Amino acid sequence: MIPVCGLEARKVAVLGLGRSGLSAARSLRAGGAIPVCWDDNESARDVAASEGFAVRDLVAQGALDDVARLILSPGIPHLYPVPHPIVRLALTLGVQVDNDIGLFFQSFAQTDWDRFDTMPKVVAVTGSNGKSTTSALIHHVLDEAGRPAQLAGNIGRGVLDLEPPEDGAVVVLELSSYQTDLARALTPDIAVFTNLSPDHLDRHGGMGGYFAAKRRLFAEGGPDRAIIGTDEDEGLFLAGQLSEGPTDDRVIRIGSGRAEGPGWSVNARKGFLSEWRKGKQVGSVDLRQIPGLPGAHNHQNACAAYAVCRALGLSPRNIEAGLKTYPGLPHRSQVLGTRGGVTFVNDSKATNVDSARKALQAFPAVRWICGGLQKEGGLAGLEPALGTVVKAYVIGREAANFALQLPGIDVAICGDMATAVNLASADAVAGETVLLAPAAASFDQYDNFEARGADFERHVKNVLQSSAN
């Protein structure tokens, strides 16, 4: 646990008692603060009360009196589409609003670090797609190289649940726009921007607000090194803002094209990763046969992880060894198995058009399981990847409407996962891939994308077992 510093003997309100909220309350108490907790869910309040926390309705008269700070869980809106009533009340009363990420950066450095030979480092990864894979890949490569590392944030455990770091350790944080948008303190040593595509636009008041939330990690965080994906205009703009000139190696540009300019860059083209510095190639990795990193989108993730590890002092050879043993993450281009030359891949995390497009482009012939709760814009922008689709198998309550947006594609309206998996697996022939890449949120049928991916995995397992018997 990381005890919260700087709020000793101060009353701090915690709104939202899920994983991050309860973790924040515990760390506040460990640091000497006085947490006052609330959640609209009664069972969540009961859990907090069972741990001895004061539970109080924060909209009640006087509930925010003498409160130094209000700590929000990521799902609670603080500005768009409208602020939560308790947030608006806190702002009206002049109470600071923060989250667990802000508390972490405020409290991470400890006085006993004076005895360390090498100061611990924090790597923070944000972007629309690839954050989880990039973060997990960095952690894996560091672990394989014998460098002590912990992984937290939007993946794994809450940031305040981390163990105090040891000499030379690295903390890798995956941070969503919800987290970077609100944190009062953001001070990573290395910050990564993977890419940007439309997502969570209602929460950020549009694309500009969404980009601004990501940009805070760099503009206000002031990292020593910034690794920026420059395939989109926003990344190019951000790299330009952060750099003092073309040879400024505090900015490492990553992308999918040829390396340009005299600066530090890491690029992946046709499956080959290349590192360039001062106009010369200084490292390369063949990514094509790494099973945990299929497709161009995962090659971009590999570029980001490679750049971070190089900035941390690892050699290209050590990084390559770590990349080759990366097992992949559940629900993210996860290969579940093969049957008769047909490969089954779970990419339930492909909840928007951009991530689904990249998943489709990773395989030459796809039996595509898709559908769910569509996001703003529908399927616009997916067309360039539809050439790999042999047939689409649509699930979800809006399956018929989803199918209407796929003109020229052979479509089966399945409704539920079991029907889609059974039909796709029966139709598939050797060389094809049965791919779950929904291009939509899961909430019409599942609690989250993990539950959707687990359901797909269960049905695929049945198919694989039946073929083995």
Mean pLDDT, residues 402-429: 96
- Summarised one tens digit per residue, pLDDT across range 173-210 is 999 999 999 999 999 999 999 999 887 888 999 999 99
Pairing of strands 433-436, 272-277: unpaired
Whole-number pLDDT of residue 449: 93
Reported pTM: 0.85
245 Cβ partners below 8 Å, 6+ apart? none
| Annotated binding residues | 127-133
User: Cα(2)–Cα(79) distance, rounded to whole angstroms?
Assistant: 28
- Summarised one tens digit per residue, pLDDT across range 73-118 is 988 999 999 999 999 999 999 999 999 999 999 999 887 888 899 9
Q: Is residue 38 a contact partner of residue 11, using CB atoms and an 8 Å limit?
A: no
Residue 126, strand partner residues:
193
User: Cα(277)–Cα(258) distance, rounded to whole angstroms?
Assistant: 13
Mean pLDDT, residues 48-72: 95
| Answer CATH for 334-468 from 3.40.605.10, 3.30.70.240, 3.90.190.20, 3.40.50.300 | 3.90.190.20
Whole-number pLDDT of residue 327: 86
User: Cα(203)–Cα(98) distance, rounded to whole angstroms?
Assistant: 17
Q: Mean pLDDT for the chain? A: 93
- Summarised one tens digit per residue, pLDDT across range 145-158 is 999 999 999 887 89
- Summarised one tens digit per residue, pLDDT across range 317-335 is 999 999 999 988 889 888 8
| Annotated binding residues for ATP | 127-133
What percent of the chain stands above pLDDT 90? 81
Pairing of strands 34-38, 272-277: unpaired
Domain 11-104 fold:
Rossmann fold (3.40.50)
Quickly state the pLDDT bin for 33 (edges 50, 70, 90). very high
Whole-number pLDDT of residue 155: 84
Whole-number pLDDT of residue 467: 67
Closest by alpha carbon to 268, among 279, 259, 277? 259
Query: Distances from the Cα of 323 to the Cαs of 39, 289, 298, in angstroms?
Result: 41, 11, 11
Domain 109-324 CATH class label? alpha beta
User: Cα(427)–Cα(422) distance, rounded to whole angstroms?
Assistant: 9
Quickly state the pLDDT bin for 468 (edges 50, 70, 90). low
- Summarised one tens digit per residue, pLDDT across range 239-273 is 999 999 888 999 999 998 777 778 999 999 999 99
- The DSSP 8-state label assigned to residue 364 in this structure reads S
Residue 383, φ and ψ in degrees, nearest 5: -50, -40
Q: Is residue 186 a contact partner of residue 214, using CB atoms and an 8 Å limit?
A: no
Mean pLDDT, residues 127-133: 91
Report which listed range, 54-63, 102-111, 418-427, is most confident.
Answer: 418-427
Cα torsion through 195, 198, 203, 207, rounded to 10: 90
Ramachandran region, residue 177 (left: φ > 0; alpha: ψ -120 to 50; beta: rest): alpha
User: Cα(322)–Cα(139) distance, rounded to whole angstroms?
Assistant: 10
pLDDT at 469 > cutoff 60: no
- Map out the domains of the chain as residue ranges: 11-104, 109-324, 334-468
CATH topology match: 11-104 vs 334-468: no
Q: Is residue 349 a contact partner of residue 176, using CB atoms and an 8 Å limit?
A: no
User: Cα(217)–Cα(134) distance, rounded to whole angstroms?
Assistant: 16
User: Cα(245)–Cα(242) distance, rounded to whole angstroms?
Assistant: 9
For the chain, the C-alpha Rg in angstroms (whole number) is 23
Whole-number pLDDT of residue 292: 87
